[in-house]
């Protein structure tokens, strides 16, 4: 009996997006992805009614990663969804919650529990932001209204994410992050609407304006250059593979040919970008709880002033910038160690929970009649070979994405260094999924041959 079966009565009352009953083609998936993306951008333009002017965004540096728009009904973004995922991953990874995620029933319970937890964290985070003064109402009578608007916005995000996961390409979480970061990069680079003092805020228009005035400042180009470098480095990492030679040891299943030789590719960035998303969400929650403790008069995590941590653990775990290498080296060092260590931890947990570990992959390959040339065909032998690569790739990929995100954030890259890293990975994965689906749609015989 699953530990989550006791929650089944609650699961029945939680609405869900039904999976399509037919096989969707490329155009249908593209349509739903586009509709959700348009709805997301529309929702980011709906302001919170009753919010006092001059509110300060405490999570500005991680705003792109949280896929939220401060001051709109999507202020919470994907924060509640990712926080719920962190809690469940830690519970399952530490065996406090024993689930067999290869079982359809346990996996269904896991997903339903994550949705319930997302809703709980939505109400919790909305209440905290308003009651601790991060989002100040114009007067006390608007307090509840602000909380309700934040909750509704986050609930819409939860279900839009589910629509994309079941009806579109990729996941809603990835789509919203990429959309927000791309918007920040385009606006930050090309914004030509002048500010109150007549300067052009966009990097390119501002640089041209400075040249025309006779005093060019090349330092303004650093964020743009950093963004381009991060794009190049992440694309290089996404293209790297460890290829294991394989052969088909039997004729069973979809017309496979005995002895046919190929390669099974293991991505260098094996755990994808999820470790960085989860680590960023954890840092957001550190500041969130610092606000709570300060509000009740026990500032265990440090003090918050003008929406920013000024001391304590919350300050040490706030995103540093390049100048802090000289002024606050201890801050930079502790943040780097914590960020990269968390990426390693979440990389391991993500691979274990999502069924990408050596044991699960070896079982899938063996059931498909795959074997390693030169070795006896057995599940155990496949496991031994994969175990040499997958655990190492899991840890290395966690360190790799954590280090790139940390260094990119220091440079002040457009859209946030972490946001750029995530966006490149998300778009690359989305492109691969769309190319595969287009190939399948254009070649029905190929889909039948592969059993898809």
Question: In the prediction, which pLDDT does 101 show?
Answer: 64
DSSP bridge pairs for 263: 245
Backbone angles phi, psi at 448, to 5 degrees: -65, -40
Q: What is the pLDDT of residue 256?
A: 46
DSSP 318-364: SPP-TTHHHH-HHHHHHHHHHHHHHHHHHHHHHHHHTT-SHHHHHHH
CA–CA distance, 126 with 340 (Å, rounded to integer): 29
Confidence at residue 376, expressed as pLDDT on a 0 to 100 scale: 65
- What are the tokens at 365? 């390959």
What confidence score (pLDDT) does residue 39 get?
Answer: 93
C-beta contacts of 252-261 below 8 A and 24+ residues apart: 252/369, 253/368, 253/369, 253/451, 254/449, 254/450, 254/451, 255/449, 256/368, 256/369, 261/373
CA–CA separation, 434 vs 448, rounded Å? 18
Residues 6+ apart with CB under 8 A from 272: 350, 425, 429
Residues 406, 340 contacting (CB under 8 angstroms): yes
Residues whose CB is less than 8 angstroms from the CB of residue 167 and which lie 6 or more positions away in sequence, other chains included = 17, 20, 24, 28, 29, 32
pLDDT at 160: 92
What pLDDT score was predicted for residue 343?
93
Size (the chain), residues: 452
For position 261, what pLDDT does the model report? Answer: 61
pTM over 0.85: no
Q: What is the DSSP letter of 6?
A: G
Q: Return the exposure string of 234-260: e unless at least 16 CB atoms fall within 10 Å of the residue's CB, then b.
A: beebbeeebebebbbbeeeeeebeeee
Helices within 168-307 (DSSP H only)? 172-190, 203-212, 222-239, 274-295
DSSP-assigned letter for residue 272: T
Per-residue pLDDT of the chain (452 residues; tens, 9 = 90+): 556 677 777 878 888 888 888 777 888 888 999 999 999 999 999 999 998 887 777 777 667 778 888 889 999 888 888 888 878 877 776 676 777 666 777 777 788 888 889 999 999 989 988 888 788 888 888 999 999 999 999 999 999 999 998 888 888 888 888 888 888 888 888 888 887 777 788 888 888 888 888 877 777 888 888 888 888 888 888 888 888 877 765 544 444 445 556 677 888 888 888 888 888 888 888 888 888 888 888 888 888 887 778 888 989 988 887 788 888 888 899 999 999 999 999 999 888 887 788 888 888 877 777 777 766 667 788 888 888 889 999 999 999 989 988 888 887 777 777 788 888 888 888 888 888 777 766 655 545 544 45
What is the per-residue pLDDT for 339? 93
Residue 450's pLDDT is 47
- The closest alpha carbon to 259, from 271, 269, 245, 273, belongs to 245
Can you give the pLDDT at residue 309? 84
């Amino acid at each position: 009996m699953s530990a989550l079966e006791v929650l089944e009565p609650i699961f029945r009352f939680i609405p869900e997006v039904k999976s399509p009953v037919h096989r969707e083609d490329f155009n249908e998936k593209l349509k739903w992805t586009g509709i959700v993306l348009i709805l997301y951008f529309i929702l980011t333009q709906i302001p919170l009614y009753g919010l006092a002017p001059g509110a300060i965004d405490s999570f500005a540096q991680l705003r792109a990663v949280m896929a939220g728009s401060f001051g709109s009904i999507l202020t919470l973004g994907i924060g509640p969804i990712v926080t719920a995922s962190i809690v469940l991953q830690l519970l399952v990874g530490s065996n406090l919650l024993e689930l067999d995620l290869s079982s359809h029933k346990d996996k269904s319970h896991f997903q339903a529990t994550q949705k319930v937890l997302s809703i709980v964290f939505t109400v919790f985070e909305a209440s905290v932001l308003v009651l601790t003064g991060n989002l100040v109402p114009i007067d006390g009578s608007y307090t509840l209204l602000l909380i309700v608007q934040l909750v509704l916005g986050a609930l819409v995000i939860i279900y839009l994410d589910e629509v994309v996961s079941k009806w579109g390409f990729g996941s809603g979480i990835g789509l919203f992050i990429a959309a927000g970061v791309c918007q920040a990069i385009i606006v930050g680079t090309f914004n030509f609407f002048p500010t109150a003092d007549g300067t052009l805020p966009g990097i390119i228009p501002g640089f041209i304006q400075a040249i025309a005035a006779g005093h060019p400042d090349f330092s303004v180009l650093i964020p743009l250059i950093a963004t381009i470098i991060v794009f190049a480095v992440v694309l290089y990492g996404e293209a790297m593979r460890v290829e294991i030679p394989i052969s088909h040891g039997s004729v069973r299943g979809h017309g496979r040919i005995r002895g046919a030789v190929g390669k099974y590719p293991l991505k260098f960035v094996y755990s994808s970008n999820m470790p960085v998303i989860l680590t960023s969400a954890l840092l957001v929650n550190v500041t969130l709880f610092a606000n709570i403790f300060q509000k009740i008069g026990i500032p265990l995590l440090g003090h918050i002033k003008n929406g920013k941590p000024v001391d304590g653990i919350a300050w040490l775990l706030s995103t540093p910038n390049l100048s802090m290498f000289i002024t606050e080296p201890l801050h930079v060092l502790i943040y780097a160690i914590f960020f990269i260590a968390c990426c390693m931890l979440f990389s391991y947990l993500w691979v274990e929970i999502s069924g990408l570990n050596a044991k699960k992959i070896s079982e899938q390959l063996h059931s498909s009649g795959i074997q390693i040339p030169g070795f006896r065909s057995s599940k155990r032998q496949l496991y031994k070979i994969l175990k040499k690569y997958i655990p190492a790739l899991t840890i290395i990929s966690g360190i790799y994405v954590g280090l790139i995100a940390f260094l990119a954030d220091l440079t002040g890259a457009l859209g946030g260094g972490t946001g750029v890293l995530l966006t490149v990975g998300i778009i690359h994965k989305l492109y691969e999924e769309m190319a595969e689906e287009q190939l399948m749609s254009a070649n029905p015989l190929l889909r039948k041959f592969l059993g898809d």
